[in-house]
Amino acid sequence: MSDTYRVALLGFSDFERSTLASYFRLAGRSTPGYQLVPTGEESDFILADADHAPSVQLVLATERWSQAVFVGSRAPAGAVAWMLRPIDPLQVMRELDALRLAVAAGAPAVPDDPPLAPPAAAAAPPPAPTARALLVDDSPIALRFLASRLQPWGLALETASNSGQAIERLARHDYDFVFIDVELGADSELDGLALCQHIKRHHPLAGSVLVMVSAHHSELDRVRGTLAGCDAYLGKPLQATELERLLVRQGLKPPPAPAAGAPVAGAAASADHA
């Protein structure tokens, strides 16, 4: 491959396509660079709408799984790279960089456990979300891991990488759950505890459950979280049983157990990243 890599878009709204096109025009000037091309046949990589079933099926049919970044509310089973909406162009570039390095290292064109469902099953839309959740963490890996654990519960998920983005999202939408990391990085004006206090004071949403998720989860840390106003405190690495107890207490129905041998979306992500 040259220093400029070609990327095709599959799916997406006109607005998202326009936004991505503007960003790719800038990205094409860097080295290595990325430029959009009209079709998948002439592309090195694919950016696919995970909520658009025909796009997902086309990636599988053309055996482009390991060259595709999926964007949507749910990661297709076996997806190599996936991110949530709203689309963060910088994260798109990071995912493309990771795929580029993997392909250069000789990654296979199809995952070891690709989706085994027939086309009709793959095209079925996901169940309607039963609740809405905002995930706040400065680590894309931690966001992806938490999302992979929450999506089987039928939650509609949105993310924020700093306190400012979280406050902006909260001003526009109501959420049933807000999951907040304590340490939100240098790009945040507020840490997780201060953000929790801000939400309690300025966004007193009826029924909203504020959940701290942190690698710091001693008794003192949990007390600090309670004083900040959180309703629950989960430690990292995230324990599935703790998360399940929390969600069941809030009235959510546990997801059905996966079939034997079925790939688990996001299973490759690590919960240890904070």
Are both 157 and 222 inside the same structural domain? yes
* 125 inside domain: no
| 187 & 210 share domain | yes
> Both 112 and 135 in a single domain?
no
Which pLDDT value is given to residue 189?
93
Q: How far apart are CA 144 and CA 155, in angstroms?
A: 14
Domain that holds residue 107: 4-120
In the chain, DSSP finds a helix count (H) and a strand count (E) of 9, 10
In this predicted structure, what is the pLDDT of residue 207?
A: 62
Amino acid (one-letter) located at 62: T
Q: pLDDT per position in the chain (274 positions), as tens?
A: 457 889 999 999 988 888 888 888 876 666 678 888 888 788 889 999 988 888 888 888 887 888 889 998 887 877 778 888 888 888 888 888 887 777 665 554 444 444 434 344 444 444 555 688 999 998 888 888 888 888 888 888 899 999 999 999 888 888 899 999 999 988 899 999 999 999 888 876 556 899 999 888 888 988 999 999 899 999 887 788 888 999 998 888 887 665 444 444 443 333 333 4
Pair (188, 82) in one structural domain: no
- Give the integer Cα–Cα distance in Å for 56 and 68: 10
Q: Which two tokens stand for residue 204?
A: 């007193």
The pLDDT of residue 205 is 58
Claim to verify: residue 38 and residue 147 sit in the same structural domain: no
Backbone angles phi, psi at 157, to 5 degrees: -110, 140
The pLDDT value given to residue 95 = 84
Question: What CA–CA distance (Å, rounded) separates 76 from 56?
Answer: 8
CATH number of the CATH domain containing 235:
3.40.50.2300
Residues 82 and 146 in one domain: no
266 domain-assigned: no
175 and 101 share one domain: no
Q: Would you state the pLDDT for residue 206?
A: 53
Q: What is the pLDDT of residue 163?
A: 93
* Same domain, yes or no: 163 and 85: no
- What is the predicted pLDDT for the residue at 104? 67
Query: Rounded to whole angstroms, what are the CA distances from 260 to 23, 212, 264, 272?
Result: 42, 32, 11, 26
* 267 located within any domain: no
pLDDT at residue number 28 = 61
